[in-house]
Amino acid sequence: MSLKNEPRVNTSALQKIAADMSNLIENLDTRELHFEGEEVDFDVSPSDPKTREVSIPFSAVYNTQGFKEPNIRSYLSGCPIKVKVLEVERITSTTKVPSSDLYTIELTHGEFKWQVKRKFKHFEEFHRELLKYKAFIRIPIPTRRHTFRRQNVKGEEPRAMPSLPRSSENRIREENFLGKRKQLEDYLTKLLKMPMYRNYHATTEFLDISQLSFIRDLGPKGIEGMIMKRSGGHRIPGLNCCGQGRACYRWSRRWLIVKDSFLLYMKPDSGAIAFVLLVDKEFKIKVGKKETETKYGLRIDNLSRTLILKCNSYRQARWWGGAIEEFIQKHGSDFLKDHRFGSYAAIQENTLAKWYVNAKGYFEDVANAMEEAEEEIFITDWWLSPEIFLKRPVVEGNRWRLDCILKRKAQQGVRIFIMLYKEVGLALGINSEYSKRTLMRLHPNIKVMRHPDHVSSTVYLWAHHEKLVVIDQSIAFVGGIDLAYGRWDDNEHRLTDVGSVKHVITGPSLLSLTAETTESIESLHLKDESESNKNLPILKSVDNMDSKMKGIGKPRKFSKFSLYRQLHRYHLQSMDSISSTDSTSNTGSVRSLQTGVGELQGETRFWHGKDYCNFVFKDWVQLDKPFADFINRYSTPRMPWHDIASVVHGKAARDVARHFIQRWNFTKIMKPKYRSLSYPFLLPKSQTTAHELKYQVPESICAKVQNQFFISCADDKVVFNRIGDAIAQRILKAHRESQRYRVYVVIPLLPGFEGDISTGGGNALQAIMHFNYRTMCRGENSIVGQLKAEIGNQWINYISFCGLRTHAELEGNLVTELIYVHSKLLIADDNTVIIGSANINDRSMLGKRDSEIAVIVQDTETVPSVMDGEEYQAGQFAQGLRLQCFRVVLGYLSDLNEDIQDPVSDKFFKEVWVSTAARNATIYDKVFRCLPNDEVHNLIQLRDFISKPILAKEDPVRAEEELKKIRGFLVQFPFYFLSEESLRPSVGTKEAMVPMEVWT
């Protein structure tokens, strides 16, 4: 008979029958059910390979499932659960309901210990649920979940199901309580040895256990249980119902979990974490209808939300409230109060910390730490460029390119969360949308948020300015360095990057590839390495190219990384960077500090494409073409970048991670597009495991852990922060007490805005210049103005204002450029350091404009030193950072014999610091006629100044001789540049139309 004539099975009908049977069985009243025979159980053997990993990994928080799913992992493998009934409490009622007994049960599972309170009726309900399950599991219903459970039961050895004591509790005498407690202990102990029942969702719910109960990094096990949660309560405009009264509320059944520093609730049907409430200084618990507008209500407040829960009785609400409060007070009290300087984070003793001067070492340590990540990477930046290289020169292909590192770690299972500032497109060209799109397409484990949405949030003027990288919530990089173009630099602060190949105007270079070639390079990281090797761009006509480029060696093929293969061939792959010089001519930099690195080969670069920049000359454009130059590196020097950062470990890193988590979770609920499950809520790890460091940044030392613009000196009208006033008052105090006191201020010679300074600089640049000068030296509110009013010109003995500048030779021409000082750093008395993202201006300092973060480090390890000519115990961290900064800017890196240890002495302050800055400034003015310049007081003088001949062009030989006298980078800040001009934005310009707070 043909198979075609066989009657077809109606699978949909079978599924409907199966569903009906499931509903029927689940609704059976099984109080009278009793099954003969043995029940199944087995004891897990320690040799079982499934039990070798006892702990549940932290990554399990990202893989939660519905509570009734059969393959949930809630318990520690191979670890028994010990049960002890501690006490019995007789509950009486004023109603006709008979008195009942409340049992306090203590459970221990590995290192976790917790208590639950249950009435005997709860035991009866639980037992009936298990009997129902027992009946249900024996029926072969063709559903996936049911089949899975039946298959798991088949392999178990039979054992009798324990019996529940049946005595009527209101007739039990006092002397029988002890026996009853023992019976209940035995009942639960036997039951929990049977995987069939232990893993059943009714059992875990009865014992207040969930998938997140026994994850060590989440801290001790707190209170858990099913509750009813009311919607709303957010302290964020637009997230709550606009109406009032009960009709606007929605109640939902949720599983509440209390941990040492936060609460969360989950959806039982999907297991999704639906909200996280962090413990903070406003954390409070209230009970009662008056406080909650709900019968048997429980109210939990923090800075961001009022959460209303509904319990079954007033007694239960009081118990929940008391238990939560007691647990948080015991384990999370540090988060309930403000700490020193109003910080949310407590002082953390004996914290491993390390500082960075410039981004070279910082980027390398960030790359190495990312490579060691096992669970999570958090990144937040004002600007992030996916294609930057974290290790340079590039000798390992794309391996250490940021997007490739992140993709590699995501493929290994690491969850990566990135928050970017969403700029106002008309005002800034950082193209965060491109950064987000590029990163998101790499791998599903990479999630990127941008914030704020300017229209919906009505935030137009302020920015997210923080720069953080956090690895596994155990290592946190904090400072002023974005993972972005232009930031990478080392102690040489090079102006040029043209490689060792001669440049001929008529000849194409490797970096002037066609758009198609460039785009193919950009997409390399999206393909497997084996596949990408086949598609490397090949530039043909080697003979033609060789006639236009004279480098070291003549490779047969010019592909993107063929020059790096040459470095491997000559064993230079492990070497660091040096100044690029031509081996056959003198077209290299005049300044070439040898740092132990071989010469760059061919057109090997430190700064590729958009990374070679001079943002005062020209702001970034076409960021979606990362490897295409946007300024001519053969005629325009780059602008070097001087910056500071730090890394902390352990508890301090946990605190930094907590801040990131707070911002991430806030953004998730704030923006509708991020409320989906694909953007998970983040959970802070507990401080109890913070000491367990799997990786440590090399050269970190122990310390106690808790600037770019200079706009201060409050007038309470335009400027409000008082940092400048504090500096002035401290100097006046020192003068009155005849005390030596020094303040070293180093800031950029020009603000970081595009503008031609030879014509005045443009409105944005001038606006920042106005407020910088107003803070330093112009007007009675300025620091110098306040000092002059009391001590005259003696102020020069107390404070110094400087910038940084360098020079080089580019294509046979001497060039100079300022070094952009982006540091946000304070070092006090060689024992206290503040490193962060905050500038000294109102945007950063008022606390309600730009978002910022910083760490304060106080040394616990000291070294013998000298301060004001006397013996002094200096902090190892603080003094080491101060000495490195001084050596870099003074040019003492290769001359360690110079005495720069005592920053207060007259000899250092006057004969070294002030003298070096003045001499360097004089030489630069003589050779280049630099701007800004003290000779130029107005625009008429400016036009005359730039029309005069420049020694560097008129007599290069003599100019080069003069430049040999330069030491370091330090130059005096020009106080009188355009002092006779009003630098505020002119009326009618777009800069004048925005509020003045934008510039302050």
Output the DSSP codes for 193-221.
T-HHHHTSHHHHHHTT--TTTT-GGG-S-
Position 366 pLDDT exceeds 90: yes
Position 707 pLDDT exceeds 60: no
CA–CA dist 829, 742 (Å, integer) = 10
Is the previous residue joined to 165 through a cis bond, with omega within 30 degrees of 0? no
CA–CA dist 176, 181 (Å, integer) = 9
Residue 357: which of 799, 695, 827, 705 has the closest Cα? Answer: 827
876 touches 868 (CB < 8 A): no
241-267 per-position pLDDT tens digit: 554 555 567 899 999 999 999 999 999
pLDDT band at 97 (very low <50, low <70, confident <90, very high): low
The CA-to-CA distance between both ends of the chain, in Å, stands at 90
**pLDDT at residue 152, as a whole number:** 61
Position 653 pLDDT exceeds 80: yes
**pLDDT at residue 670, as a whole number:** 83
Residue 843: which of 402, 386, 462, 391 has the closest Cα? Answer: 462
- Give burial (CB, 10 Å; 0-12/13-18/19+) of 933: buried
Beta-carbon contacts of residue 702 (< 8 Å; ≥ 6 apart): 350, 351, 352, 353, 860, 861
Position 811 pLDDT exceeds 70: yes
Q: Angle CA(657)–CA(408)–CA(73) in degrees, nearest 5?
A: 65
Model-wide pTM > 0.85: no
Position 774 pLDDT exceeds 80: yes
Position 340 pLDDT exceeds 90: no
- Sign of the C-alpha dihedral, residues 794, 797, 802, 805? positive
Please give, one letter per residue, the 3-state secondary structure of 28-66: CCCCCCCCCCCEEECCCCCCCHHHCCCCCCHHHHHCCCC
**pLDDT at residue 953, as a whole number:** 93
372-403 per-position pLDDT tens digit: 999 999 999 988 999 999 999 888 889 999 99
pLDDT band at 546 (very low <50, low <70, confident <90, very high): very low
C-alpha neighbours within 13 Å on the C-beta side of residue 140? 2
704's tokens: 């106690």
CA dihedral 555, 560, 565, 571 (to 10 degrees): 110
- 352/150: higher pLDDT: 352
Beta-carbon contacts of residue 277 (< 8 Å; ≥ 6 apart): 262, 263, 264, 300, 302, 304, 305, 307
CB atoms within 10 A of CB 394: 20
**Which of 21-30, 89-98, 763-772, 956-965 has the lowest average pLDDT?**
21-30
DSSP for 79-135 reads --EEEEEEEEEEE--SSSSPPEEEEEEEEEETTEEEEEEEEHHHHHHHHHHHHHHHH
**pLDDT at residue 560, as a whole number:** 35
CA dihedral 569, 571, 574, 579 (to 10 degrees): -90
Beta-carbon contacts of residue 795 (< 8 Å; ≥ 6 apart): 731, 784, 787, 788
pLDDT band at 239 (very low <50, low <70, confident <90, very high): low
Please state, in angstroms and as integers, the Cα–Cα distance from residue 924 to each residue in 571, 591, 633, 917, following that order: 39, 14, 22, 11
**pLDDT at residue 835, as a whole number:** 94
Position 7 pLDDT exceeds 70: no
25-81 per-position pLDDT tens digit: 445 444 333 333 333 334 444 444 444 447 899 999 999 999 988 788 999 988 999
What percent of the chain lies above the pLDDT cut of 70? 74
**pLDDT at residue 537, as a whole number:** 36
- 111/93: higher pLDDT: 111
User: Parallel, antiparallel, or unpaired for β 446-451 and 415-421?
Assistant: parallel
CB atoms within 10 A of CB 258: 23
CA–CA dist 495, 504 (Å, integer) = 20
CB atoms within 10 A of CB 911: 11
DSSP state of 601: P
Question: CB under 8 Å, gap of 24 or more: what pairs does 833-836 form?
Answer: 833/355, 833/646, 833/857, 833/858, 833/875, 833/877, 833/878, 833/881, 835/355, 835/478, 835/479, 835/480, 835/644, 835/645, 835/646, 836/478, 836/479, 836/480
Unique residue bearing structure tokens 């290289």: 389
Q: Chain-wide mean pLDDT for the chain?
A: 79
pLDDT band at 423 (very low <50, low <70, confident <90, very high): confident
The continuous run of DSSP H or E covering 159 comes out as strand 157-159
CA–CA dist 576, 294 (Å, integer) = 67
pLDDT band at 364 (very low <50, low <70, confident <90, very high): very high
180-192 per-position pLDDT tens digit: 888 899 999 999 9
User: Parallel, antiparallel, or unpaired for β 862-867 and 743-746?
Assistant: unpaired
Position 353 pLDDT exceeds 60: yes
194-204 per-position pLDDT tens digit: 888 898 899 99
The continuous run of DSSP H or E covering 654 comes out as helix 650-670
In this structure, the chain runs to a length of 1000
**pLDDT at residue 78, as a whole number:** 86
Is the previous residue joined to 393 through a cis bond, with omega within 30 degrees of 0? yes
Listed ranges 173-177, 351-355, 539-543; the one with the highest mean pLDDT = 351-355
CB atoms within 10 A of CB 279: 23
**pLDDT at residue 760, as a whole number:** 62
Beta-carbon contacts of residue 550 (< 8 Å; ≥ 6 apart): 501, 502, 584
Residue 716: which of 844, 840, 846, 824 has the closest Cα? Answer: 846
Q: What is the mean pLDDT of residues 273-278?
A: 94
470-528 per-position pLDDT tens digit: 999 999 999 999 999 999 999 999 999 886 544 444 333 333 333 333 333 344 344 44
CB atoms within 10 A of CB 919: 16
Position 903 pLDDT exceeds 60: yes
**pLDDT at residue 636, as a whole number:** 92
**pLDDT at residue 629, as a whole number:** 86
Q: What is the mean pLDDT of residues 322-347?
A: 88
